[in-house]
Structure 1
Amino acid sequence: MLVRLTLENFLAHGRTVIELGPGLTVLVGPNNSGKSAVVEGLRCLATNPAPRHFIRHGAKLARVEAEFSDGTRVAWLRKEKSAGYELLRPGADKPEEFWKLQGKVPQEIQDVLRLNLVQLEAVNRSLDVHLGNQKEPIFLLNEPPSAMAAFFASSSESAHLLGMQKALQTKVREGKADERKVRGRLTELERVLRTLTPLPDLRLRLDAARERHDAIRKAEARLPELARVAEGLRHLSLSRDILRRRVEIQSRLTQAPQLWPAARLAEALTLRTRLAAGKLLAERRREALTPLVEPPQLFPADRLAKHLETRALRQGVLAKVSRRRQALEPLREPPQLFDALRLARWIADRRKLETRMTGLEVRAGRAANLRPPPEPVRTQGLSEAARTLRELKRQAEALQARLGQNEEAMSACEARIAARLAQIGSCPLCGGSMDAEAFLRRQGCKHAEGATCGGSHG
Structure 2
Amino acid sequence: MSHKSTEFELVKGVNVLTGPNNSGKSAVISALQLLAELPVKEGDYMVRHGTAESSVTVETDEGDVLAWRRKGSAMSLTINGDRDIRLQNNRDHYLEKLHKHLRLPKVSGNESKQDFDIHFANQKDPIFLINEPPSRAALFFASSSDAGRLFEVRDKFKDLVKAKRKEQQSAKTTLEQQQRILAKLAPLDEIEEQMKFVQVTFKQYPKDQEALRLSTKMLQDLKIYVRQFNSITSKHQVVRELILPPELEDSDKLFQYCKALKLEVGRLSIFSNKQKALAQLEQPPELLPTNDLAKQLHDLRFAEKKGLKLEKMQATLANLNVQPEIDNTERLTCLLKALHKDSVIVARLNSQQTHYESVNSPPLLEQESNLATNLRTLHETLTRHRSLEAHVKNLLQLNNIPDFDDLPRIEQNYHLLKKLSYKRSFVFRFHRELSELQPPPQINCTFELQELLSQLKSLKKRHTAHSQRVKLGDISQIPPQPEFEEIELLEKHFKDLYLHIENVQKLKAHLQNADFELRQWVNQHPSCPTCGGDLTIQKLQGSICNGS
Say whether the fold is shared (TM-score over 0.5).
no
Instruction: Give TM-score scaled by structure 1 length.
Output: 0.33
Q: Structure 2 length normalisation: TM-score?
A: 0.28
Q: Which has the higher strand share?
A: 1
The structure with the largest helix share of the pair is 2
Select the structure of larger CA radius of gyration: 1
